[in-house]
C-alpha cells in the first residue's frame, strides 16, 4: 500500500509535496520520495524511512520547480530495498518519473514482453518499474517530439490494454506535465483538486482527499476508473476515459483500515462508513447475545475507535480508552517475523490497569490478520486485571490474500484461513469472538454512495475481480517464502550480534 501526490502550481511545490506526504504517511512508512521539475531539469530526493527523516533542509532547497510528484511506500512481500523507493525514473522517451499505488498481477508476462518485444531493461523486482516501462514504451509509440494530450491519452490506453491488476498512478513527463490515472475497476483511490492563486489555477492529485484539504485545495472529484487526468505545464487540465467501461469495484479495506477518517473516497466519507460498521456490528452482538455481561467497550487504537464508540452506545455500556499508544512505532501487521511483531505490540500499546481491573471487557479492532497481535493484546488485557476479555472485529474474517497492493501474508499464515470462529477465538485466547458479516460491511460502506454496486472484497470471500491466472498464488507464495526466510536470517543475525556484545 502506498500514497501518491502530484502538483502543478505557479510557485515552488517542494514544501507542498512534503506536507502532502506527511498527511499520507499512514499509507507508507518504509520509504519516501519527491521529484520536481524546473527549467528542463529534474531534482530528486528519495530514501528509506519516514518523511521527516528522508527530507532535511538541504534536500528541500534542491527540490526546485513548480511541478512535481511524491510517493510514500510500504514494503512488499518483506522487501525493503532502497532501489524500490519511488518515484522511479526512465530517461527515454522524454524523461518520465512515476509513483504507483497498487499491484500488477501479470508481471511475469509483462517482464517477458518488455525484454523480448520492447527491448527494455528492468533493474528491480518492483511491479511499479514494470508499469513505468510499459508507459514509456507506449509514449514512444506515439512517435512525436511534441506530446499533445491525445498522444498521452493514447499511451495510457496502451497501459490499460497491457497491465492487469490494481494501479493508481501519478507520472511526470519532463517539460510536459503530470498525468494521473486509475485502473479500470477503480480498486485503488485517486482524487484531484484545484485552488486559485493570484497567478491562476493550480491542480493537485493525491491518494486521499485529506491531502488536498491540508494544502487548501478544493476536492473536485475522484478520478474515475479507467480515466486519465493530464495537467500540462501551463496549468491546463485535460481528461479522458482511456479504458472500456467496467464495473467499479473499489477496495473495501480502504474504509476498514487504510484510509484516514477525514478522507472522502468514491464519494464515501470514511468516518461515516466506520460509524456504520460499528452500528451494524453492535446489532449483530445484540442478536447473538442479548443478555451479554459486557461492562466496558475499548478500542484498539487508532482505526477502530470510531466503530467502538457506536458499539458502546448501542450496547448501552461504558466506552473507555484502555490502551495508550506509542505513536513512534509503525503498524505491525506487515512486520515479517512473529518475534518482531510480538515485541512491537508490547512497545506500541500499554494498558491502563485501572480501566481493566475486575471488568468484562469487549475489545474492538478493525480486523484480525495473523492473530499474533490480537492474541498478545488479549493477554495484555488479562494481565491488566480484566475478569473476562471479549473481542470483536469490524471486518469479516480475512481468509484470503490481497493481491491488489496490500502486503497480506500467505493464506496459511492468516488465522482465519480454513477455520471457524470458535477455533479462532481459542487461538487468540478470547472468551468470545465476534466478526462483522460481509453483507453488513458492504452495506455500511455502500450506504455512503448507493451508485456503487460492488467492492473488492477478495480478502474476505476469495473473489478476485480481475481474475487470477493459474499458478499465480503458488508463484507468489514461493517468492514470499524466499523473502521471509531472508528476513528471518536477518532477525536471527541481529539477535546473535546482540548476544555477542
Q: Distance (Å, rounded) from C-alpha 327 to C-alpha 468?
A: 38
Q: Report which secondary-structure segment, H or E, holds 220.
A: strand 218-222
Virtual CA dihedral for 379, 380, 381, 383, nearest 10 degrees? 90
**Half-sphere exposure (Cβ direction) of 85: Cα atoms closer than 13 Å:** 20
Residues forming beta bridges with residue 435, ordered by sequence position:
393
Strand arrangement of the beta sheet that strand 31-38 belongs to: 41-48, 31-38, 67-73, 2-8, 200-206, 191-197, 218-222
DSSP-assigned letters across all residues of 104-131: ES-HHHHHHHHHHTS-----SS-HHHHH
- Closest by CA position to 232, among listed 133, 147, 134: 147
Q: Which of 2, 163, 176, 251 is catalytic?
A: 2
Cβ-count burial 402-436 (b if 16+ within 10 Å, e if not)? bbbbbbbbbbebbbbbebeeeebbebbebbbbbbb
Q: Terminus-to-terminus CA distance in the chain, angstroms?
A: 37
Q: Is 2 a catalytic residue?
A: yes
DSSP state of 266: T
CA dist 178 and 68 (Å) reads 8
Alpha-carbon span 64 to 132, nearest angstrom: 23
CA dist 329 and 469 (Å) reads: 37
Q: Which stretches of 50-163 are assigned E, i.e. beta strand? A: 67-73, 88-90, 96-104
Let me know if 309 is exposed, middle or buried by CB neighbors in 10 A (0-12, 13-18, 19+): middle
Which residues are annotated as catalytic? 2
Amino acid at each position: 500500500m502506498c500514497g501518491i501526490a502530484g502538483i502543478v502550481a505557479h510557485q515552488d511545490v517542494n514544501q507542498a509535496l512534503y506536507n502532502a506526504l506527511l498527511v499520507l504517511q499512514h499509507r507508507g512508512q518504509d520509504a519516501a520520495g519527491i521529484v520536481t521539475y524546473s527549467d528542463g531539469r529534474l531534482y530528486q530526493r528519495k530514501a528509506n524511512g519516514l518523511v521527516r527523516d528522508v527530507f532535511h533542509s538541504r534536500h528541500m532547497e534542491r527540490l526546485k520547480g513548480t511541478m512535481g510528484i511524491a510517493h510514500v511506500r510500504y514494503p512488499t512481500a518483506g522487501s525493503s530495498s532502497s532501489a524500490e523507493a519511488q518515484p522511479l525514473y526512465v530517461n527515454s522517451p522524454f524523461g518520465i518519473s512515476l509513483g504507483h499505488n497498487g499491484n500488477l498481477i501479470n508481471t511475469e508476462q509483462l517482464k517477458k514482453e518488455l525484454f523480448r518485444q520492447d527491448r527494455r531493461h528492468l533493474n528491480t523486482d518492483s511491479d511499479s518499474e514494470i508499469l513505468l516501462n510499459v508507459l514509456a514504451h507506449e509514449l514512444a509509440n506515439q512517435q512525436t517530439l511534441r506530446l499533445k494530450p491525445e498522444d498521452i491519452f493514447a499511451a495510457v490506453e496502451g497501459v490499460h490494454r497491457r497491465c492487469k491488476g490494481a494501479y493508481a498512478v501519478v507520472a511526470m513527463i519532463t517539460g510536459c506535465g503530470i498525468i494521473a490515472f486509475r485502473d479500470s475497476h477503480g480498486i485503488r483511490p485517486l482524487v484531484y483538486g484545484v485552488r486559485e492563486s493570484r497567478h491562476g489555477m493550480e491542480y493537485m492529485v493525491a491518494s486521499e482527499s485529506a491531502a488536498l484539504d491540508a494544502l487548501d485545495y478544493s476536492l473536485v472529484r475522484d478520478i474515475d476508473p479507467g480515466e486519465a487526468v493530464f495537467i500540462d505545464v501551463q496549468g491546463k487540465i485535460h481528461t479522458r476515459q482511456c479504458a472500456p467501461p467496467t464495473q467499479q469495484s473499489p477496495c473495501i479495506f480502504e474504509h476498514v483500515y487504510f484510509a484516514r477518517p477525514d478522507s472522502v473516497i468514491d464519494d464515501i466519507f470514511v468516518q461515516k462508513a466506520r460509524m456504520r460498521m460499528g452500528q451494524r456490528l453492535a446489532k449483530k452482538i445484540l442478536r447473538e447475545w442479548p443478555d451479554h455481561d459486557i461492562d466496558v467497550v475499548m478500542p484498539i487504537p487508532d482505526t477502530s475507535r470510531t466503530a467502538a464508540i457506536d458499539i458502546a452506545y448501542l450496547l448501552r455500556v461504558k466506552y473507555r480508552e484502555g490502551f495508550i499508544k506509542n505513536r513512534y512505532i509503525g503498524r505491525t501487521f506487515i512486520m515479517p517475523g512473529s518475534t518482531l511483531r510480538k515485541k512491537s505490540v508490547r512497545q506500541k500499546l500499554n494498558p491502563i490497569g485501572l480501566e481493566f481491573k475486575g471488568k468484562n471487557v469487549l475489545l474492538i479492532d478493525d480486523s484480525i490478520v495473523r492473530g499474533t497481535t490480537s492474541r498478545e493484546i488479549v493477554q495484555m488485557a488479562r494481565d491488566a486485571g480484566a475478569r473476562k476479555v471479549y473481542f470483536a472485529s469490524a471486518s469479516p474474517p480475512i481468509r484470503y490474500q490481497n493481491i491488489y497492493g496490500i502486503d497480506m501474508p500467505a493464506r496459511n499464515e492468516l488465522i482465519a484461513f480454513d477455520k471457524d470462529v470458535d477455533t479462532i477465538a481459542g487461538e487468540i485466547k478470547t472468551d468470545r469472538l465476534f466478526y462483522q458479516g460481509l453483507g453488513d460491511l458492504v452495506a455500511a460502506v455502500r450506504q455512503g454512495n448507493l451508485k456503487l454496486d460492488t467492492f473488492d472484497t477478495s480478502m474476505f470471500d476469495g473473489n478476485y475481480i480481475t481474475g487470477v491466472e493459474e499458478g499465480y498464488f503458488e508463484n507468489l507464495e514461493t517468492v514470499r517464502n524466499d523473502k521471509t526466510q531472508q528476513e528471518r536470517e536477518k532477525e536471527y543475525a541481529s539477535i546473535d550480534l546482540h548476544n555477542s556484545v
